[in-house]
Chains A and B, each alone.
Chain A
Amino acid sequence: MRKGFPAAAQDALGDAQLRRNLLVATHAIRAKRLAAVGERPDWEELREAGRTIKRRVLRHLDAYLIQFEQAVERAGGHVHWARDGEEACRVVQGLVTATGQHEVVKVKSLTTDEIQLNETLAAAGIDVLETDLAELICQLAGEESSHILVPAIHKNRIEIRDLFRRELALPHLSEEPRELAEAARLHLRERFLRARVAISGANFAVAETGTICIVESEGNGRFCTTLPDTLITILGIEKLVPTPEDLEVLLQLLPRSSTGERMNPYTSLWTGVTPGDGPREFHVVLLDAGRTDVLADEVGRQALACIRCSACLNVCPVYTRTGGHAYESVYPGPIGAILTPQLQGPGRADSLPYASSLCGACYEVCPVKIDIPEVLVHLRGRIVAEAPPWRAERAAMSALAWVFGSERRLGRAQRLGRLVGRPFVRRGRIRQLPGLRAWTDTRDLRPVASQTFREWWASR
């Protein structure tokens, strides 16, 4: 059950441990990112190229998708189209069942979290094992991811040690990250070696060649995409790029923005099936799930350009205090605040576009130049415009528009405001207004001046 951002954030803000964990982690990654980005004199040109590539893809998505489908099939892969999450889950479940296997290894994928694939497969009696360390931590803890890149960013090493001691039956484990990572390696090794079916998402897919690209660090992605007989990739339709050369831009932008590295340890590219090397059967499920609706909104559609680097989370004054769970969405932070309400449609996550101070830090760090503040304001406008006319914000905005529409009405409103406001002025500020507490609880207002400009002009 959703609480909405204000209530969920209230809970998160009361958790001192969470706030400490977030502060340490996000500040560490910000410093690394800054150093990695500062090393490139052509960073702004790369951003501009990245933005252009993604914009072009979205403009001609229909053509690129068909081109991609043909290329994958030419290379021996199979393509499935899914209108929504339910259909995608059904397709994947069918494909897994057809292999006769009951175990699946999985590479971290936000897209599969978005459609709740794990839950569907578990209900069908299929054992799904998350292999990314942070995803594994979340899976063992029975918690949701709270960060795009580091799903377990909300947990510190002591909490992870206690979890592993309990869930992996390792009572003597220390909290050294090295030892914790080793424990995960041992836990997963056997499963990697015996896995017959794997499920992945994708960072990029090349329309021209049908190539899929996965960017990772641990090697779990390589295991999942190399050793099993069957590989199923869930691909949000916005992940396409036109040509292989376009990867040269995104593969420079992503690691530096994301982990603050010149390059992540492993980037895998594969095209269909290759005899003697890797899976014998390869399926791509192309997922819409609200994306074409987002595409129809000329301002909002830029959210689909996101390459999931998470730089906007790490700089956001809201995210770094509330953490990801408060967003109640697979995509938290500034990008989540514009993506989630659009993907889910009106009325389902309406508090998220307000989870921002509009400071603009997210836009500045975005490697593909998504103007997040612009979309936030646009979505707020849409939410208010679609609200019933008696809702306070809509009524107030309509009234204001009417007042601002005429010079005489504005003059009268100012005089009225001065009179009405006078009893509430304390030390030169209005700190509380009865009936408008939702506004004044967090903001002080300046009283109307004792002489407005208009009055001074008239009396001159």
Chain B
Amino acid sequence: MVPRRYRASEPEGTVDRFVERVEDYGAGARIVARKDLTLTVGDLCRANGLARVVIPSDLPRSWLPEGVESVADVGLGVRELDAIDGTITGCALAIAETGTIVLDSGARQGRRALTLVPDFHLCVVEETQVVDGVPAALRRLADNLRGPRRPVTFVSGPSATSDIELSRVEGVHGPRRLEVVLVRE
């Protein structure tokens, strides 16, 4: 038997801890009330110069602000994705302990290329999607891995490298900027 005693000491997960740990990676993170979501998304798009964003086709249109052109992904080619400023998605769940967002290509997330090729990723997390630690996350993901088998990506901050003298540089091949917006009920 695999001893699972480590599960007993899983740290308490809180939304605040999640936000703090996302920021530790050099990503942006903020907590907003639902009524302010669209406003915040708009602010972030403006602040980061996003004029055109690609979105999964099932993303709630109510999240999108005025003045930002959104392109729903209906099998765009990589060149088209590459020419777009950024992407806005939801997520499958989020891990407080490690400041990780988890994408499983399910609702509001689209396929993997969407959160990979564009240079900016804005991810909206619902408060109820935040779990304590990695074990809780795997428990929630296991059904998908055993069933529909959609691909899963753990994202912890923007792309980074430490390959030069082990000094960390954020922004390599994946999105150079990650902004996480947590919606509190």
A266 CA to B150 CA, complexed, in Å: 16
A29 CA to B166 CA, complexed, in Å: 7
A150 CA to B164 CA, complexed, in Å: 8
Question: Which B residues lie within 8 Å of A42 (CB)?
Answer: 5-6, 8-10
A259 CA to B98 CA, complexed, in Å: 14
Among listed B36-44, B46-54, B59-67, B169-177, interface-contacting one: B169-177
Docked complex: A271-307 residues within 8 A CB-CB of B: 271-272, 274, 276-278
Q: Tell me if A276 and B6 are in contact (CB < 8 A).
A: no
B185 at interface by CB-CB < 8 Å:
no
Partner of B145, one of A150, A192, A211: A211
Which of B9, B10, B105, B173 has most A Cβ within 10 Å?
B173
A263 at interface by CB-CB < 8 Å:
yes
Question: Which B residues lie within 8 Å of A185 (CB)?
Answer: 171-173
Which residue of chain B has its CB nearest to the CB of A206?
B145
Which of B1, B79, B142, B150 has most A Cβ within 10 Å?
B142
Docked complex: B75-106 residues within 8 A CB-CB of A: 75, 78-79, 82, 95, 97-100, 105
Name the distance in Å between A242's Cβ and chain B's nearest Cβ. 9
Question: Which A residues lie within 8 Å of B98 (CB)?
Answer: 262-263
Question: Which A residues lie within 8 Å of B31 (CB)?
Answer: none
Q: Tell me if A223 and B164 are in contact (CB < 8 A).
A: no
Docked complex: A151-170 residues within 8 A CB-CB of B: 151-153, 156-157, 160
A4 CA to B1 CA, complexed, in Å: 42
Interface residues on B, range: 35 or more
Name the distance in Å between A447's Cβ and chain B's nearest Cβ. 47
B72 at interface by CB-CB < 8 Å:
no
- Map CB proximity to B onto A24-59 as digits: 1 under 8 Å, 0 otherwise: 110011000000000001100110110011001000
Q: Tell me if A245 and B138 are in contact (CB < 8 A).
A: yes
A6 at interface by CB-CB < 8 Å:
no
Partner of B138, one of A25, A244, A271, A276: A244
Name the distance in Å between A165's Cβ and chain B's nearest Cβ. 14
B156 at interface by CB-CB < 8 Å:
yes
B153 at interface by CB-CB < 8 Å:
yes
Answer whether A269 and B163 are a contact pair too, CB < 8 Å, given A245-B142, A262-B21.
no
Residues of A participating in the B interface, judged by any CB pair closer than 8 Å: 21, 24-25, 28-29, 41-42, 45-46, 48-49, 52-53, 56, 75, 131-134, 137, 150-153, 156-157, 160, 177-178, 180-182, 184-185, 188-189, 192-193, 206, 208-209, 211, 217-220, 222-223, 226-227, 244-249, 251-252, 259, 261-272, 274, 276-278
- 20 intermolecular pairs with C-beta atoms under 8 Å apart: A28-B167, A45-B6, A151-B163, A157-B164, A181-B164, A185-B171, A189-B173, A193-B78, A209-B146, A219-B175, A227-B117, A248-B135, A248-B137, A249-B2, A251-B134, A262-B24, A266-B154, A267-B153, A268-B153, A271-B151
